[in-house]
Each structure stands twice: as structure tokens, then as C-alpha cells.
Structure 1
Amino acid sequence: MSLLPWQQQDWAHLHSYCVQQRIPQALLIKGPQGYGKLRLAQQFAKALLCAAPQTDGLACGHCHSCLLFAAATHPDFISVAPEEVGKGITIDAIRALITRLSLKPQFDKNRVVIVHPADAMNLRALNAFLKCLEEPTERTVILLVTDRPAKLPATIVSRCQKLAVSPADPVCVAAWLAQQQPELSAAEAALLLALAQNSPLQALAYARQDYLPQRNSCFKAWLAVARQQAHPVIVAEQWQALPEQQLLFWLSSWVMDVVRCHYLAEARQLFNPDLQATLQSLAVGLDLKKLYGLYDVLLASRQRLDTPINKQSLFEEILIYWSQLNRSK
């Protein structure tokens, strides 16, 4: 596992800590999802543990520490993450971390902890974790990685140095994506990057999934509801098997694009540039105030996904609103 092409500037920043011998006891690495923040943190951890780092600061990959790291058995590397995807980091995980940190590092180099995603810690876990920052232990570096730094309390953030990952250069990302998925055309790669909001790893995930056909199928159903050619309840039932967060993102992006089309936005200004013509036709005659009302419903729906609400009912409500909005044109 190596650095990603767009991470050179961020790596230079991390390497400068080592050159200046000012390695932070706690570092918050933050930025958009899909930029490879965890990989960057892992590379830094590996370098901090390495017995003979290279001149550019990267780990040698051959020493005993590097071999242990590669095998996920290094005694001075600790990873704290949710036990299941989508779950939180519990207080028990933080208590186990505190217990391990009470012992001295086994090697002469640093001990490194990665907490990812840091915003997954629940309130009790955060309160317990604060002790790790207030009473740092010997030769320990804590790396917190998050897409959502605003979810972390100020008491945690204020005790960390920060690294906001640099925006990925679109030309660099496009070249990398073409290497990863040679079968993609330049137009498809550009569209996937646009849909992923220039998030490289997200665009790659889209390329490896059935993303475009699934999104296009949902858009056709959404369009059919607008044209009174499909019933909202039936479409909501068909959507039950889809990931709710993904579906809400699509719906939100379509609504915002219709708003932008109302103001005659260019394709490059849209979330869905390939759908500009259809979105432009939908914008004609729509009540803008009611359209913003639908967007408010979508934003509220994102919050409601964390509750025991019936998901089909949620999408029925959204689609009925959308149907009535178009009927009143």
C-alpha cells in the first residue's frame, strides 16, 4: 500500500514534523470522504514505527517493524474502529485503549494509535478518550481521522494539531482512475468524478459497482412520478432494496440541479451534468418556493434515517410531495 498520487503535498507536511522533530502527540486528519485519509494516516504510522525510513520519510518496508506492520501484528500500533461498519466506537473500546497505553511501548520508536472514524465515538467514549489527550503517554502519537470534524466536541479538537487534506487535482485523479479502470472511457471517468464530487476513491467505487445503471433507473422512476406516469407508492416500494443514504443523495442532487436549471446554470455547475436537458425541462413552470420545500423534506429525511421510521413511508412522503409539486405546474 503506497501513497495516492494526489497526497504528495499532504505527505510533505507530515514528513516535516519528523524532519523538525516536532511530531504532534495528537493529530486530526480531516477532509472529504474518499480522499484516502485513512491510507495517509496508515502511511504516517508505518513511517513513525519504521527503523530506517527513506529520505522522503516513507517507511522502508523491509525492517522488522515494517514486516510486523504489514502483518498487522506490530505491538506498538493500535487501531480503534467500530466493530461493525456503520456502528459506533464504544466506551469499552476506549477503555481497552487506555489500558494498552498504560504500558510502555515495546520498541524504541514511537507507538501509534489510529482512531477511524473519530466521529464514530459515542458520548461516553469521547469523554473517556479525552483522558488520552489530557494525559499523553510515553512516545505515543494519536491520529484521529474523520470526514465530519464538526461532530467532534471542541474539547477534543482543541487538543489536536490539524491536517486538512489538500483538494485532489482533477487531471491527476482522472489519470489515476484511467489506470485503475482501463475499460472506462474518458467521458465515463469524467462523469463518475463529477457524480463523486471529485472524490477519487468514491469515483473508483462507483466504477466498480453497478452505480450508473442503478442511478439512471431511479432517475427514470423519479421522472415518471413527475409526469404522473408512475404511482409514488409503487415506486417507493421498488426502492426498498436500495441504500437509503445513497438514494437520498441522488434525490437531493436532482432537486438542487432543478433549482440551478431554473437559474439557467451550465452543465459544469450541476451535480448531474449528463442529465441537464431533462432537468432543464423539469424546471420549467415549477414553483421555486415549493421546490425548496421539497429539499427541506429531503434534508429532514436524512436525520430521520437514524430513527426507527418505516423507510418505505419516508420515500412515499417524498415522492407524493414531488408528484403534487409537478401536478400544480
Structure 2
Amino acid sequence: MNTAMPILPWQQQDWQHLQQYVLQKRIPQALLFTGNKGLGKQQLADQYAAALLCNAVKRDGTTCGQCQSCLLINAGTHPDILHVLPEEAGKNITIAQIRNLTSKLTLKPQFERYRVVIINPADAMNNAAANAFLKCLEEPTERTCIILITDKPSRLPATIISRCQKLNITAPDKTTLIDWLKQNNIHDDLEVLCSLTKGAPLLAQHAVTNQHIAIRNACFKQWTAIAKRQDHPVLVAEQWLAVPESALLFWLISWVMDLIKCVYRVQTGYLYNPDLTQVLQELAGQLELRSLYQLYDLLLISQQRLNTQINKQLMLEEILINWSNLNLK
């Protein structure tokens, strides 16, 4: 965590809301940060936590960066910031982790200001963990603020949601997004990035860093090759194991959604993949709408199974074989 990080442009209004809590010393016991991935929810939570712990908060609610608390935060050793996250990527937050948190909260904060607990992603708590965590909300401890972060609030129990103040982080408008990308030396494929990442700036930045556009284009060529009987579904599925799973499933879903839109002759501006319009329109003219919807359902189910023990290669083979068969009709 770095107390010197600036507030992101699209979070200015959200930050003003949070800084009023700090300046007025009316700190909610629990905050729920929601919004799509890639909007900087964790960064905003870190900045708010730092402001709560800083010993000399500025008038704009930002940290001084020089007091003992700020120095400890920057070093990652502040004892009054507690992070709860899955022990392994894609795993649940367990009841043992929540019990460990509960035991720590029985003690007073070590410094004179607040103690901040950040749980991200909050929807990763399994049922037992969520039930145990509810006790933290029902019996708040001294000078403690709990921040829950999730892009899937529907997965949280209503009993937890109802006990939190809510802050929904929204995506910036297209102009703000493009300006921010340019300021971060991203100048190519801006329209495609905006569309594919649903206007999420940090996802767009991540996509550029990891060359997702080039990988996506290569996968699309293989996908169309399967439709034309120029490549084999099983061989492509094996090659796709090297592609990030969540990104790959999103691309596949976006291609099928665009095919459905093309069948209905939707304007190019409403497609997820405007740069692929010509090929998508050619494919759509040969496909049956009902079969496209069936493939779309399969992709959504597959997306939900990503965090399970499913065999990823078999999953991709099923998708691609269905896609291949669909093009026989």
C-alpha cells in the first residue's frame, strides 16, 4: 500500500463521500464497496484505510505521508490494517480465517486511531465463514472499520449486506477512460479496449500489459478456423490451456453475443468486438439462432465453473465441439 497514490479520476465523487466520514469523524462500522472488476475498488479502500489511520490528515481527506502511521502503511507493517483474502487464488475464505480475525478483533487497536479490516473478495467467504463473520458486524469492536469488496454482491447474504453502508464504484465515461489510458502511454486499440473491458480502466491497462488483444485475435482466428473445418476442436482446446481462463471465456461469450446481435442486424457500435464485425456477420449468416443461444448458455455455465475442480481441457473441448457442430447446420 502506498499513501502517495493519487485518487483515480473516476473515483473523485466516491472519494469526496468517503473523506466526509473522515473529516466529520463519523466512521461507518462497515462499508461495502461494489462495482465491476478493474475500477480500482481495492485501491480506493487502501486510500480510505490510510486516511483513517493517518495522524495528520489533510483538508482534502488525504494522508500526510510522513507520520508514523503513514510510514508503517508504506512499509506494509501497520498492525491496525488487517487483510482477509483467499489463501489461494480461486479458493474460498474459510471459517478458520474468520475465526482468526474475530480473535484479533477482541483486542484493542494498537494505535490511537482506527483499525481497518479489508476483506476482498467478500463473496469468497463460504457459508460457514459468512455466518461466523456476521458476528463481527452484530457485535462491533472498538474503533474498528470493516471494508468488504466485491464485484458480485448478489453472492453475499442479505444479512451482511443490510449491515453495511454501500458505495457502488461506477465505470468512467468513455472520454475519461480514453484520456486516462493515454496518460498511461496506451494509444493503440483504444476503442476495442473500451468495449472488451466494459469501460474498466485497470482491466484495459492489464490487457495491454499482458498483450491480451494479440492473444484474443489469435484465438479468434482459431475459432473461425474450426467453423471452416480448418482446425480441430481438440487440438485448439489443448493450445488454449495456456490462455488466461477468465479472459478466454469472456472473449468466447462476447463473440457469441455479437453473433446473436448480427443475426438481429444490430449496428456495429453495439457490438463487443467492433473490429471483428465483417467476419462475425459472415458467420452469423450461416448459423441458427436457437443453436447460438444454446452455445451461449453452455459458455455461461462454463464461466461459473471456472473456480471449481472442473477439467479445463475437457470444458474447452465441449465448447469447441459444440461450436464446430453448430457450423454443420
Q: TM-score, normalized by length of structure 2?
A: 0.95
Amino acid at match of 1:154: A
* C-alpha distance in 2 between matches for 1:307 and 1:81: 18
Contact 1:9 1:166 in 2 (8 A): no
Amino acid at match of 1:211: H
Task: Check if 1:311 corresponds to 2:312.
Answer: yes
- The alignment partner of 1:112 has SS state of strand
Where do 5+ consecutive residues of structure 2 fail to align? none
State the 1:57 CA deviation. Answer: 0.7
Where do 5+ consecutive residues of structure 1 fail to align? none
Aligned pairs (5 A) from 1:205-220 = 205-220=206-221
Aligned pairs (5 A) from 1:177-216 = 177-182=181-186, 184-185=187-188, 188-216=189-217
* C-alpha distance in 1 between matches for 2:293 and 2:310: 23
Instruction: Give the match for residue 15 of structure 1.
Output: 19
Task: Check if 1:126 corresponds to 2:127.
Answer: no
State the 1:166 CA deviation. Answer: 2.8
State the 1:62 CA deviation. Answer: 1.1
* C-alpha distance in 2 between matches for 1:313 and 1:74: 45
Task: Check if 1:26 corresponds to 2:23.
Answer: no
- The CA deviation string for residues 91-137 of structure 1, in whole angstroms up to 9 with x for no partner, is 22211211111111122211111111111112221111111101000
Task: Check if 1:35 corresponds to 2:39.
Answer: yes
CA RMSD of aligned residues (A): 1.5
Instruction: Give the match for residue 238 of structure 1.
Output: 239
- The CA deviation string for residues 170-203 of structure 1, in whole angstroms up to 9 with x for no partner, is 2122111112225x33xx1222121111110000
Size of the alignment, in residue pairs? Answer: 325
Gap change, CA 1:152 and 1:61, over 3 Å in 2: same
* C-alpha distance in 2 between matches for 1:88 and 1:314: 22
- The alignment partner of 1:107 has SS state of coil
Aligned pairs (5 A) from 1:251-290 = 251-290=252-291
Gap change, CA 1:306 and 1:39, over 3 Å in 2: closer
* C-alpha distance in 1 between matches for 2:172 and 2:253: 24
- The CA deviation string for residues 33-65 of structure 1, in whole angstroms up to 9 with x for no partner, is 000000000100000111111111111111111
- The CA deviation string for residues 226-254 of structure 1, in whole angstroms up to 9 with x for no partner, is 11222222222222222232222111110
Task: Check if 1:73 corresponds to 2:77.
Answer: yes
Aligned pairs (5 A) from 1:167-186 = 167-182=171-186, 184-185=187-188
* C-alpha distance in 2 between matches for 1:5 and 1:29: 17
Instruction: Give the match for residue 149 of structure 1.
Output: 153
Gap change, CA 1:304 and 1:101, over 3 Å in 2: closer
* C-alpha distance in 1 between matches for 2:283 and 2:256: 10
Task: Check if 1:300 corresponds to 2:314.
Answer: no
- The alignment partner of 2:241 has SS state of helix
Instruction: Give the match for residue 109 of structure 2.
Output: 105
Gap change, CA 1:242 and 1:9, over 3 Å in 2: same
- The alignment partner of 2:251 has SS state of helix
- The CA deviation string for residues 253-285 of structure 1, in whole angstroms up to 9 with x for no partner, is 100000011111222211111101111111113
Instruction: Give the match for residue 120 of structure 2.
Output: 116
Contact 2:98 2:132 in 1 (8 A): yes
Q: Which portions of structure 1, spanning 4 or more consecutive aligned residues, are displaced by more than 4 angstroms?
A: none
86-95 vs 258-267, which moves further: 86-95
- The alignment partner of 1:327 has SS state of coil
